[in-house]
Amino acid sequence: MTQLITTDLVELDQNLGNAPETVIRHLASKVAATGRASEVEGLFADAFAREQKTATGIPGGIAIPHCRSAAVTVPTLAMARLNPKVDFGAKDGPADLVFFIAAPDGADQEHLKLLSKLARSLIKKDFTAALRNASSQEEIVELVDGALADKPAAHAAAAPADAVPVGAGVGAAGASAVGAPAGASAGSAARGPKRLVAVTACPTGIAHTYMAADSLVAAAKEVGVDLQVETQGSSGAKALDPAVIAAADAVIFAVDVDVRGKERFAGKPVINAPVKRGIDEPDKMVQEALAAADNPHARRVPHFGAEEQAEHEAEEKGEHIGQKLKKALLTGVSYMIPFVAGGGLLIALGFLMGGYLITKYADTIVVQNSLFNLPTEFPDNAWGPLGAYLGAVLFKIGALSLGFLVPALAGYIAYAIADRPGIAPGFVAGAVAGFMGAGFLGGIVGGLLAGYIAHVVGRLQVARWLRGLMPVVIIPLLASLVASGLMFVILGGPIVAITNGLNSWLSGLTGAGAIALGVILGLMMCFDLGGPVNKVAYSFAVAGLGAATIDNQAPWQIMAAVMASGMVPPLAMALASTVLNKKLFSLAEQENGKAAWLLGASFISEGAIPFAAADPLRVIPASMLGGAVTGAISMAAGVGSKAPHGGLFVFFAIDNFLMFVVSIIVGVVVTALSVIALKRWAVKKTVDTVEPVPVTV
């Protein structure tokens, strides 16, 4: 097997700068220089993106930046002993020992196990003491190889006589309980120790997963508690024995990703935290788990069976009614958007090929014609008979997809409230709203009604023989009947009137009124860059697309203003950080700026989040200013978009594309110049202290 570390990959007592990115870049360059990576920039970008997700500093003056990268050709360790130290985000201060773990995307299991073993060794005080005392690169390599082979460190500091080996019992099913500590009372010894189980997992699954596991085990042993850990890492996971889980008093989830097989722990008191807390504060997490085990009202892992609600009531405690409402609405919108995005683009393609009058011909063409029997009657502006036929097919598929807009919105709002039993009543209530012409407002009301009623019915105590029928028959029946009945009998009429009034008002907006609406939408889109306010403006625009026609183009114009405004922040940050004034931005921001060009052009507002997170008091106001300008210009010029997403790449679906681009350019320039001015002349903070947020394309 290829050696993981060599003397060429070790730096001793070097000054590698005062920021994590400079250290990571230097170590990435060493990996590439030894032929173990194909390029420096790709490896650095992947490693620093991982660093931005969760700081890799751990207690004891240690940092473990790590990543999987397509640039890595051989699993590799690079090590630096720093002078001066660099802050990698550990609570106890900066780090002087840095291990950079670089794994290929397809690393084999044996290499991953060795990398994980090294990470676990770094929480052992004797090992880190030996690393600090080493006088040569050869000695460092020898120590690391010894740790990977489970050999004792040659220069280990003397361990306390009562020290417990860290990591004992991790993943071992049915391990014996640890005895009570020396100071425990006879009564506690007689009762036996508490038993805990835990799951640790991080996105990369190389370092933090295993270090958190060992830290939790060691902390539990200090207080005489038996703790078994399941590490769900890249080198595989050995599932905890069901008997161990059944005997546990509580469970700890120290994870940054979803727990696989979470239903195995259903009903157990649970402590949830990021994986890094398992390294930084394992003793506190153990104490919290012990307290939860004795608390009958503690939060518990929800049940996932058909006879139980998927979310336990305890998870809802502490949530404000506004938070619950917002969560339900955003859930509905998130599930609705794919219907609208696909449907909107298909309709736009249908218009492109079949002409804008294809709406009058589509039903007849798709039923009576085929590729071998092309239509003879079709709009004059279609791309001939073949274009008319394909346009009609695309338009009809898109229209049918958009037909799910209101039912999907209502169905998944209800799902967010009552879980799976709420889906059917929600869809039915949404269909009723669509049938009555109540639009997306009716869908929201119907979804909330259906979800709440399904939730209430689901809490009824019924005979055991009836429980199996509750989620599949009784809850859908009663919730559909009550929610949809209320929509038909009482609520539908007033909501239809409100919807018609809103549509009439939007259709009549011209001049100053339309411009003011554009300003408001632009401000909302740029306020939180993909957050709730941004989503409200976007949902408002998307939900209105279904009502747009050739005679009522206001919804298309609103969609265009929203999309153009949402493109401004990432494009402006890209312009400012890569073209106009690079010196005002950190190295990480410059890297993010390169990606922001594509993100902005694609209408992904989140591309500006790294800049807003680093400097919100300058970036957000500047973005809102540019977004307002763009929204105003777009509405004033009557730009329309039949597509709900895609940015510049759906040019064929945008009316007056030239003014669409002009409005974006003006807003981008305004924002870029504003943020540069604020950074130059407003009170600044040191760039190196900023911890940017990663961007995923």
∠ CA 81-83-86, rounded to 5°: 85
CA dihedral 499, 502, 504, 510 (to 10 degrees): -160
Backbone angles phi, psi at 77, to 5 degrees: -115, 135
**Cα 344 to Cα 412: distance, rounded to the nearest angstrom:** 20
Residues belonging to the chain? 697
What SS3 state is found at 648? Answer: helix
**Cα 631 to Cα 641: distance, rounded to the nearest angstrom:** 13
**Cα 603 to Cα 596: distance, rounded to the nearest angstrom:** 10
- By the 8 A CB rule, do 19 and 52 touch? no
Select which of 67, 111, 202, 208 is catalytic. 202
Scanning 12-136, the segments in alpha helix (DSSP H) are 20-33, 40-53, 109-121, 125-133
**Cα 163 to Cα 165: distance, rounded to the nearest angstrom:** 7
Which residue is associated with the tokens 């080198």? 235
- By the 8 A CB rule, do 4 and 115 touch? yes
- The DSSP symbol for 62 reads E
- By the 8 A CB rule, do 40 and 109 touch? no
Select which of 26, 66, 208, 455 is catalytic. 66
- By the 8 A CB rule, do 72 and 31 touch? yes
Largest CA distance in the chain: 95
- By the 8 A CB rule, do 548 and 641 touch? no
Q: Which amino acid is at 644?
A: P
Active site residue 155: no
What share of residues in the chain are helix, strand, coil (percent, to 5)? 60, 10, 30
- By the 8 A CB rule, do 607 and 623 touch? no
Q: Which amino acid is at 451?
A: G
Active site residue 111: no
Other Cβ atoms less than 10 A from the Cβ of 357: the count is 15
Active site residues: 66, 202
